[in-house]
Amino acid sequence: MEDTEKKRKSNLPNWLTMFRLICIPLVVILLSFPGRLSSFFAAFFIGMAFITDILDGYFARKYEAVTALGKFLDPLADKILVLISMIMLIPLERIPILIVIIIIARELAVTGLRSIAVSEGIVIEASQLGKYKTIFQATAVLGLALHYEYFNIDFHIVGMLFLWAALILTIWSGWAYFHQFSRVFSSK
């Protein structure tokens, strides 16, 4: 009985990550239809996905359930959710396409850089700056998905403010990764 409970707890973080992955097609479908109701539900699933991101990290540490699958899927689920949501917001004219292109280019460049580093035996850990970037991107996507005014708050404006801050953090953290890589690689 105790082993079953321990196994269930150790799988909880991965199940939460899988829930995030399941939210992605729901967000795509909902953002395919312009309108207040579909925008609200898209934002709801985006918000739920980001809450599960916080919870899966918490439970992984609490139950010592950090797995190779979790280390791979967790950041991947975050990136896919944010980037696909941004792409879906382009035809709704809620996000500037140039910002989306810059953010996608940075994500691909850093992922490529990390792949090269791993092949050379160098591990480039996620930086605190990169974590802030993810938080600002997620908040921007949530605000831009909501888009409309609720409780006298224009969520499109809120989303755009977070988006501009996210863009600055995206460029800055990307530069920091490349700078760190060049320092480590040149000392080899």
pTM: 0.84
Number of other CB atoms surrounding residue 49 within 10 Å = 27
Model pLDDT for residues 10-67, shown as the tens digit of each residue: 678 878 888 889 999 999 999 999 899 999 999 999 999 999 888 877 877 787 767 7
Q: Cα dihedral angle (67, 131, 179, 71), rounded to 10 degrees?
A: 10
For 47, how many CA atoms within 13 A lie in the half-sphere containing its CB? 11
Q: Two tokens at 60?
A: 């992984």
**Cβ neighbours of residue 18 closer than 8 Å, sequence gap 6 or more:** 73
Model pLDDT for residues 147-172, shown as the tens digit of each residue: 999 999 999 999 999 999 999 999 99
> What's the rounded Cα separation, in Å, for the pair 122 and 114?
8
2-186: CATH topology is Four Helix Bundle (Hemerythrin (Met), subunit A) (1.20.120)
